[in-house]
Amino acid sequence: MAANMYRVGDYVYFENSSSNPYLVRRIEELNKTANGNVEAKVVCLFRRRDISSSLNSLADSNAREFEEESKQPGVSEQQRHQLKHRELFLSRQFESLPATHIRGKCSVTLLNETDILSQYLEKEDCFFYSLVFDPVQKTLLADQGEIRVGCKYQAEIPDRLAEGESDNRNQQKMEMKVWDPDNPLTDRQIDQFLVVARAVGTFARALDCSSSIRQPSLHMSAAAASRDITLFHAMDTLQRNGYDLAKAMSTLVPQGGPVLCRDEMEEWSASEAMLFEEALEKYGKDFNDIRQDFLPWKSLASIVQFYYMWKTTDRYIQQKRLKAAEADSKLKQVYIPTYTKPNPNQIISVGSKPGMNGAGFQKGLTCESCHTTQSAQWYAWGPPNMQCRLCASCWIYWKKYGGLKTPTQLEGAARGTTEPHSRGHLSRPEAQSLSPYTTSANRAKLLAKNRQTFLLQTTKLTRLARRMCRDLLQPRRAARRPYAPINANAIKAECSIRLPKAAKTPLKIHPLVRLPLATIVKDLVAQAPLKPKTPRGTKTPINRNQLTQNRGLGGIMVKRAYETMAGAGVPFSANGRPLASGIRSSSQPAAKRQKLNPADAPNPVVFVATKDTRALRKALTHLEMRRAARRPNLPLKVKPPLIAVRPPVPLSAPAHPASTNEPIVLED
């Protein structure tokens, strides 16, 4: 009964999604709506997964400073990973949520230097916070309510001076003595002087025009003169005059008239007091926000002094009674029964009909967090196409703490470092933008199509599974269908079963015969003769009508040349057209000119099919077409159709293209 009773001030879990972790909130108010439901006005607390990566790095540096200052005992990497799940960030944001979405209680405390971080892992539903998150400004700041405990906050007491030793300290920086309890005056004489000071203050307010408007009656003026500011002025006058009553009397009433002393209660107008009460209702005792939004012409010290004087007035007592009556009318606690409905992410027993509740998962899957294969209940977790799941205990941990017990790749585990000059991690538009055949204008278009970088990082078990379970993996079939999903967890589970048996019999490794380096260099020189490097920054224009220009396809894997497919000796260019007909002179009309956008091209070189190329494709059978698609680098022998072939045009020696920043566009 007590566990399901929730009161104002409790930290609770709220569920806003069946697959996402719980929200941690603090109940500020419990209000009953017109339709009879109960809504809770709560303060938002955020997890690390709710803030940006830059703020996470800032929180990490703050955590390291805390560990160094408080001299925390060492923890393992897994404990450090789980401590990030226990850290919350307080905020000033409020929201209203249905009370029926409450899923339990938790404990949130302010992190103190005397606390040991590992103790939070030993307690269930226990969190801590040390920073305040602003969702609007996206900032992390230290909490103003920090408890200053520790050796660095203690006062340094100087040594006691010996008798006759002079004090060499700077007396101007020391505190000033304002009252001597061992003065020659009696208590009766002091009280009589204070009465005279109050009378002088009342007379001074009667002479002041502004005071007579604010305190039109004698009683109000006398009450204002009896405040602490008048008494402090009288006692300070006695101290400055050496407790001589005659001198002090003459100081109270100088030649120009009586001295008028006012405090903040008299200096503030009625409209300013109303603004202060409105700001106090909205922000509480956050005097910085009160000054910034409501009273910018007042100093912070003036607002603080007015607050403590305002608490002594009848206005404060009246508002306190109204708030107490309003609090009595509101709900103080609410009973929420235990939530027993099944979770939509719950997986029905394996082998049931695929459909709702995550049914249809493949056998052999393990828990993504603890890697167990046995659990009373399983829950779907992560993207649906990944088919990841969690056991019952890890699912409860995920819902409460917003993470897994062990770091995984899906949670953003650290990736291996890559070479700074390698292009293997770049996407296709980024790699094209670094090409010398791309201009600066088109480079911006290519980068505009940039997508998120995907990096495949394999483990030793994955590499072993590729060799041990080739019958299940079928790598050739998987390479032909890269879009089809592979159940990696089932293959790894089968590999762990076969691994003890396979350890006794070594794997058959087929040695790969590699050509010597000299042969490879000769082949490369024959395909693309080396040319001197062009100085950086110079642009070499490409003559598009030059017959001897090489398109740079000699050193890469290209499409088959037309003469290889047809068996004829007619030379063709890279796009499959004869050189004689594929070259356009300046006198030819450009009515059918095809404009190609470099941003839409997958590679810097564009292949345009002709009628002859399409006719050859029709001559291929379905089986020959599939074989050609799987091995595009091998020559293809097909009987060409009967077409009229023009006599060959003599060509000069191919020249290696110089680097340029312009894209190569093959025109029709």
Instruction: Give the pLDDT score at 328.
Output: 73
pLDDT, averaged across the chain: 75
Q: Are 400 and 13 in contact (CB under 8 A)?
A: yes
Predicted local confidence at residue 423, as pLDDT: 40
Better-predicted residue by pLDDT, 413 or 186: 186
Residues 270-280 have a mean pLDDT of 89
Per residue in 626-640, pLDDT (tens digit) is: 888 888 878 777 665
230 residue type, one letter:
T
Average pLDDT over residues 303-317: 88
Mean pLDDT calculated for residue range 423-432: 42
**DSSP character string of 548-577:** TB--S-SSS--PPPHHHHH-----B-TTSS
In whole angstroms, give the CA distance from residue 461 to residue 497. 12
Q: Once rounded to an integer, what is the mean pLDDT over residues 515-526?
A: 84
Dihedral in degrees, nearest 10, Cα atoms 313, 318, 320, 322:
-170
- Closest Cα to residue 463, out of 417, 509, 495? 495
Q: Domains along the chain? A: 3-140 (2.30.30.490), 185-261 (4.10.1240.50), 269-311 (1.10.10.60), 365-405 (3.30.50), 458-502 (no CATH)
Residue bearing the bigger pLDDT, 578 or 219: 219
The pLDDT value given to residue 352: 45
User: pLDDT class for 562, splitting at 50, 70, 90?
Assistant: very low
Q: What is the mean pLDDT of residues 470-478?
A: 86
Question: Any idea which of 220-229, 403-412, 446-455, 611-620 has the lowest mean pLDDT?
Answer: 446-455
Two tokens, residue 446: 């290519």
Span 126-176, pLDDT tens digits: 999 989 999 988 888 886 555 666 677 778 888 888 888 888 888 778 888
The pLDDT of residue 535 = 52
How do residues 94-120 score in pLDDT, each as one tens digit? 999 999 999 999 999 988 878 888 899
Helical segments of 241-353, H only: 245-252, 264-267, 270-283, 287-293, 300-310, 314-329
pLDDT of residue 188: 92
pLDDT mean over 11-26:
93
Where is pLDDT greater, at 262 or 655? 262
- Give the pLDDT mean for 501-518: 75
pLDDT over 90 (residue 263): no
Q: How confident is the model at residue 24 (pLDDT cuts 50, 70, 90)?
A: very high
Instruction: Report the alpha-carbon distance of residue 193 to residue 187 in Å, rounded.
Output: 10
pLDDT at residue number 565 = 46
pLDDT of residue 217: 66
Angle at 457 between CA 452 and CA 459, to 5 degrees: 160
Checking 286-293 for CB contacts under 8 A at 24+ apart, the result is none
Looking at residue 453, its pLDDT comes to 58
Q: What's the CA dihedral at 585, 590, 593, 595 to 10 degrees?
A: 100
Q: List, for residues 313-339, the tens digit of each pLDDT value.
A: 888 888 888 888 877 777 888 888 888
Residue 442 has pLDDT above 60, yes or no: no
Name every residue whose Cβ is closer than 8 Å to that of residue 426 and which is 6 or more positions away in sequence.
Answer: 434, 453
Rounded to an integer, the average pLDDT of 235-257 is 87
Res. 89 pLDDT band, cuts 50 70 90: very high
- Quick one: tokens of 519? 């042969």
pTM of the model: 0.47
What are the tens digits of pLDDT across the range 66-80? 888 888 888 888 899
Provide mean pLDDT across the span 50-64: 91
Instruction: Please give the pLDDT value at position 109.
Output: 92
Q: Which of 75-89, 275-289, 446-460 has the lowest mean pLDDT?
A: 446-460
Q: For residue 343, what are its two tokens? A: 């979770």
How confident is residue 574, by pLDDT bands cut at 50, 70 and 90? very low
pLDDT for the residue numbered 112? 83
**560/385: higher pLDDT:** 385
Q: What pLDDT, on a 0 to 100 scale, did the predictor assign at position 51?
A: 92
The pLDDT tens digits of the residues spanning 360-413 come to 455 567 888 888 888 888 998 888 877 888 999 999 999 999 999 887 755 543
The pair of structure tokens assigned to 224 is: 């204002």
The structure tokens listed for 456 are 């495949």
pLDDT band at 506 (very low <50, low <70, confident <90, very high): low
Q: How far apart are CA 227 and CA 367, in angstroms?
A: 72
- Neighbouring CB atoms inside 10 A of 259's CB total 17
Q: pLDDT tens across 602-630, in order?
A: 545 566 788 888 888 888 888 888 888 88
pLDDT surpasses 70 at 203:
yes
Whole-number percent of the chain with pLDDT over 90: 16
Q: Are 113 and 428 in contact (CB under 8 A)?
A: no
Q: What per-residue confidence (pLDDT) applies to 639?
A: 65
